[in-house]
Amino acid sequence: MTLTIILVSMAAALLAGWLARGRSRPLVLLAFSALAVYAFQPALPVRHLDFWLPTVTLALVAASWALTAAPEQRSWRANWPAAAILAGIVLLLGLTRFLPFDAFLTASRPPQTFQIVLAILLAAALTGAALWLSRRSAKWLAAAIGLILALFLVLKVPELSYWTSFFFHKLNQQYSGAASAADLRWLGFSYIAFRLIHTIRDRQSGRLPAVTLAEYAAYVIFFPSLTAGPIDRIERFLGDLRRPFALSAEDLTEAGKRLLVGLFKKFVIADALALVALNGTNALQVRTAGWTWILLYAYAFQIFFDFSGYTDIAIGLGRLLGFKLPENFNAPYRKPNLTQFWNNWHMTLTQWFRAYFFNPVTRLLRSTKKPLPIPVVIFVTQIITMALIGLWHGVTANFVLWGLWHGLGLFVHNRWSERTKARFAVLPPRWQTVLNAGGALLTFHFVALGWVFFAMPDLSTSWHVFLKLFGFA
């Protein structure tokens, strides 16, 4: 996100916060967020795709709500305003193609009106079908998760992305030789997918609260956290959404503080560090081990300040709207071990994986007739969980290795901690402090070395960097 978009978002949040009072609150937030889905979407080389992807986002949201909504929340009377807002926004944005300038709120000029009307009708039919199917069988919930994961794979597997782009180029009668895996930049889809799966899984387990379409959609596409999280939980979000809100001086102060801190972290510290951070080019040019470490440290801090800066901005924007979004980072590089690091780094993502993968798989492995030994269960679940977190960033060997690196690290720490915690617990406080400081240093360097896989484009460059770091190249 650019500084301009963030400043416009701040103005929009103030306006939406002022308008979104009383019963219309979910609808106002929905309208602003739906507009943001289009406004934040970057331009794409495939013609009109930067209009269709946000439209598919809204259709997916509506269909997921239809699949998961409690029967008492499905009435047309309660939900037609939200449906009208969603359809109206798509149509209105589509009509901006007749304005005398290039594009208004959309990345490029929208497609033809009849195509947009057809898309709205298709989305309505999909939502209707989802409503109908959800009454028939719960299997459709699993199918919906499968569909979201399939979309995820299309976006994250470079080969699939390429061939999808190739197909779209052909469909649009564009030059297919220009197709690239980078063409499918669907803004915010990763986070939207997590929220959708969260609601579907909670519906399967009977924990999903009853929500209207407006509330559900406002949760999934809530504009402050659309692009970089945090991944809120719907029951917590609803608490803030349904609470009467009037912007107080305290809200304004807290929001201003978080926004200023976030902007400083992102646009001053992270962007400055980005100039000197390790990357695929300078990794091959750097001359000494010492400088390689410095570039790696710059990368480690750049990625932290970049991501936590965006989180601060999201939390600040949320506060302007009366939402206390969950924290995502809590001084992770100061934690004395890897387990604590992951409890304090991208916290909402790790909580999501813990709730929807790690815990269920652990329970499954321990409830078999012949339960596996605990260390084996821990090893398997941690390795697979971290590999999946790696894959979430992109389906490449480097991201998988990054995940495995952390999975292995977590397992080793778990075993070490099991063996030593009783011994360390009785040490005097001064020794505890020394141990914690040493642990933090060790953990930071373990994490920093893991970033090599993250920052490098391929395995051979990663290996080259490891050799350089330890003076072998």
Partner 1 sequence: MDAVFLRKALVRGLGLFAAVTLLFALVPSGLGRLSLYNRVFPGRARFPYGENPAQSYNLSIFDLDAMFASHVINAEPKPADEYRVVLVGDSALWGWLLRPQETLPGQLDAAGLTACDGRTVRVYNLGYPTISLTKDLLILDQAMRYQPDLVIWLVTLESFPADKQLTPPLVANNAARVDDLIARYSLPLDPASPDLVRPTFWERTLVGQRRPLADLLWLQLYGVLWSATGVDQFYPASYDRAQTDFDTDVSFHGMQPPMLDESSLAFPVLEAGLRAVGGTPVILVNEPILVSSGKNSDLRYNFYSPRWAYDQYRQMLADKAAAGGWNYLDLWDLVPAGEFTNIPFHMTAKGESLLAARLQAAIQQQTCP
Q: Among all residues, which ones are annotated catalytic?
A: 393
Of 246, 275, 425, 426, the one binding partner 1 by CB under 8 A:
275
Kindly identify the residues of this chain, within the stretch 38-57, that bind partner 1 according to CB under 8 A: none
Q: Does 7 bind partner 1 (CB under 8 A)?
A: no
Contact call for residues 378 and 414 (beta carbons, < 8 A): yes
Of residues 14 and 103, the one with the C-beta less far from partner 1? 14
Measure the CA dihedral 38/44/48/53, to 10°. Answer: -50
Q: Does 272 bind partner 1 (CB under 8 A)?
A: yes
User: Which of 179-187, 215-223, 281-289, 450-458 is the region at the interface with partner 1 (rule: CB under 8 A)?
Assistant: 281-289
Contact call for residues 450 and 405 (beta carbons, < 8 A): yes
Q: Does 291 bind partner 1 (CB under 8 A)?
A: yes
Q: Does 2 bind partner 1 (CB under 8 A)?
A: no
Q: How far is the CB of 292 from partner 1 (least distance, A)?
A: 8
Return the SS3 of 96.
helix
264 Cβ contact list (under 8 Å, min separation 6): 309
Nearest-CA neighbor of 279 among 35, 452, 102, 42?
452
Q: Does 147 bind partner 1 (CB under 8 A)?
A: no
Q: How far is the CB of 253 from partner 1 (least distance, A)?
A: 5
Contact call for residues 297 and 278 (beta carbons, < 8 A): no
* DSSP alpha helix (H) spans, 137-173: 139-156, 158-171
Tokens of 424: 């360390």
Of residues 315 and 386, the one with the C-beta less far from partner 1? 315
Q: How far is the CB of 267 from partner 1 (least distance, A)?
A: 11
Of residues 124 and 276, the one with the C-beta less far from partner 1? 276
Kindly identify the residues of this chain, within the stretch 229-258, that bind partner 1 according to CB under 8 A: 249-250, 252-253
Chain centre distance of CA 374: 31
Q: Does 90 bind partner 1 (CB under 8 A)?
A: no
- The whole-angstrom separation of Cα 111 and Cα 54 is 13
Q: How far is the CB of 250 from partner 1 (least distance, A)?
A: 6
Tokens of 401: 């290795």
Contact call for residues 154 and 160 (beta carbons, < 8 A): yes
Q: What angle, 0 to 180 degrees and rounded to 10, lies between the N-to-C axes of helices 213-220 and 234-241?
A: 110
Nearest-CA neighbor of 255 among 324, 205, 175, 183?
324
Of residues 267 and 357, the one with the C-beta less far from partner 1? 267
Residues in contact with partner 1, total (CB under 8 A)?
18
Q: Does 288 bind partner 1 (CB under 8 A)?
A: yes
Kindly identify the residues of this chain, within the stretch 197-226, that bind partner 1 according to CB under 8 A: none
Of residues 240 and 254, the one with the C-beta less far from partner 1? 254
User: Which of 285-293, 311-319, 370-378, 381-389 is the region at the interface with partner 1 (rule: CB under 8 A)?
Assistant: 285-293
Q: Does 295 bind partner 1 (CB under 8 A)?
A: yes
Of 130, 197, 213, 298, the one binding partner 1 by CB under 8 A:
298
Of 221, 286, 300, 347, the one binding partner 1 by CB under 8 A:
286
Q: Does 282 bind partner 1 (CB under 8 A)?
A: yes
Neighbours of 249 (CB within 10 A): 7
Of residues 35 and 295, the one with the C-beta less far from partner 1? 295
Of residues 201 and 468, the one with the C-beta less far from partner 1? 468
* DSSP alpha helix (H) spans, 354-396: 359-366, 374-393
Chain centre distance of CA 176: 30
Contact call for residues 240 and 323 (beta carbons, < 8 A): yes
Return the SS3 of 299.
helix
Measure Cα distances from 249 to 39, 252, 255, 263, 435 in Å: 29, 5, 10, 21, 43
Of 294, 361, 412, 473, the one binding partner 1 by CB under 8 A:
294
Of residues 47 and 257, the one with the C-beta less far from partner 1? 257
Of 287, 370, 421, 423, the one binding partner 1 by CB under 8 A:
287
- In the complex, the residues that contact partner 1 under the rule CB under 8 A are 249-250, 252-253, 272, 275-276, 281-282, 285-288, 291-292, 294-295, 298
